[in-house]
Chain A
Amino acid sequence: MTTESVSAGDDPRRLLSDVRALARRVRLDQRVTAVALLALAAVSLLALPVDWLFLNADCGRATVESGAACHIRGFSRGFYWLPALLLAYSGIAVYAARAARARGLGARVLPYVLTGVALAVLSAAAWVWAYFYLDPPPAEPFADWVMVLDRLVGPAGTIGLALLVLAWLERHVALLAYTLVYLVLVLVPPAETFRLPPGLLGVHTYFLLPHLISGVALLLGGLGFALARRWRR
């Protein structure tokens, strides 16, 4: 060993602690959490008027008391959500690469962006499948697990699943906690938790409320992480 490599600073514990601190510093400098959440919030909130216009709800004689199901068809998943999500993920990738480069680092969001794109495509494919194979729709309401799966492969659900990948890439515990809360909000919509009858809100509002909640949750999350980053600096 050289004299240089046995200095007091080369104590194994201190070296490992320095290594961990440096790795954490780099990860902090590479984070794009706020921008990703704000971009996805914009996509989600812009979807509301589109969803409103292209939501086809056929409730016929269904009432809450009868337990019969409304036949809901949202056409926006095919022509709005897929291109909008692809655009958002591309924007996040470009921003992350430029921001990291400006700081003198490489970007690490590629797996997140690829996951997001793959899930967006899967969501659109599931919609196309349902469009052709669930026509006419079954008379009985779907089982609860089918509805949860439907929400998971819906645009808001795929955004949450991809965020889990971002939390892992950024080793970001706060983002992981946020994402788990977000997924609960998406998978268990308040309208159903509180058993709000469709008649109270109107059919369109009833079915778009979860989208509004997920959009607002993303917006608040984005603003929160942006403020936290600013405060840390």
Chain B
Amino acid sequence: MTAEAGDPPAHPVTGLDDVVHQRVRLGILTIAHEARRVEFGYLRTQLQLTAGNLSQHLGVLETAGLVEVEKGYEGKRGRTWITLTAAGDTALAAEIGRLKQVIARVETTDTEENR
């Protein structure tokens, strides 16, 4: 459906990306963005998830091309590192921008209703 001239602008909520707009996945992207590179164990601790649950979310983000997962060893211990891709960086910035727009829209509506 395309917007016609005179139509009100689309509500920002329509632009939210299902892959990114999910609490855990948004958390993963945020931590990876701040950390540059983050280890699986750190994500699991901060987000308080089971290994299986975190792996599922990482799988969704990796399939969407938003993160890169690199498996390796340090001594005998296996370690998994997660890095944000350029697409992930853009998606995170866009999501945060849209969340701010949604909040601004809700606050504007509340103010108008209270008048």
Instruction: Report the minimal beta-carbon distance from A99 to chain B, rounded to whole angstroms.
Output: 13
B4 at the interface (CB under 8 A from A): no
A9-B35 CB under 8 A given contacts A16-B100, A16-B103, A25-B46: no
User: Of A79-87, A103-111, A191-199, which binds chain B?
Assistant: A103-111
Report whether B22 and A4 are in contact in the complex, using a CB–CB cutoff of 8 Å.
yes
Report whether A13 and B38 are in contact in the complex, using a CB–CB cutoff of 8 Å.
no
Report whether A105 and B18 are in contact in the complex, using a CB–CB cutoff of 8 Å.
no
B26 at the interface (CB under 8 A from A): yes
Most chain A Cβ neighbours within 10 Å, of B35, B39, B103: B35
With an 8 Å Cβ cutoff, the count of chain A residues facing the other chain is 26
Instruction: Report the minimal beta-carbon distance from A185 to chain B, rounded to whole angstroms.
Output: 32
Q: Which residues of B contact A58 (CB under 8 A)?
A: none
Report whether B35 and A1 are in contact in the complex, using a CB–CB cutoff of 8 Å.
no
Report whether B35 and A105 are in contact in the complex, using a CB–CB cutoff of 8 Å.
yes
B59 at the interface (CB under 8 A from A): no
Interface of B is mostly: helix
Q: Which residues of B contact A73 (CB under 8 A)?
A: none
A5 at the interface (CB under 8 A from B): yes
Report whether B36 and A107 are in contact in the complex, using a CB–CB cutoff of 8 Å.
yes
A2 at the interface (CB under 8 A from B): yes
Q: Which of B1-59 contact A (CB under 8 A)?
A: 16, 18, 21-23, 26-27, 30-31, 33-43, 46
Most chain B Cβ neighbours within 10 Å, of A9, A10, A18, A104: A104
Q: How large is the interface on B (under 10, 10 to 19, 20 to 34, 35 or more residues)?
A: 20 to 34
Instruction: Report the minimal beta-carbon distance from B4 to chain A, rounded to whole angstroms.
Output: 24
Complex: A18 Cα to B34 Cα, angstroms: 14
B94 at the interface (CB under 8 A from A): no
Interface string of A106-126 (1 = CB under 8 A from B): 111000000000000000000
Q: Which residues of A contact B36 (CB under 8 A)?
A: 105-108
Report whether B100 and A106 are in contact in the complex, using a CB–CB cutoff of 8 Å.
no
Report whether A12 and B102 are in contact in the complex, using a CB–CB cutoff of 8 Å.
yes
Q: Give A107's nearest chain B residue, CB to CB.
A: B36
Q: Which residues of B contact A5 (CB under 8 A)?
A: 16, 18, 21-22
Q: Which residues of B contact A100 (CB under 8 A)?
A: 35
A10-B22, A104-B38 known; 6 new pairs, CB 8 Å cut-off, are A15-B21, A16-B100, A19-B27, A22-B46, A23-B34, A30-B35
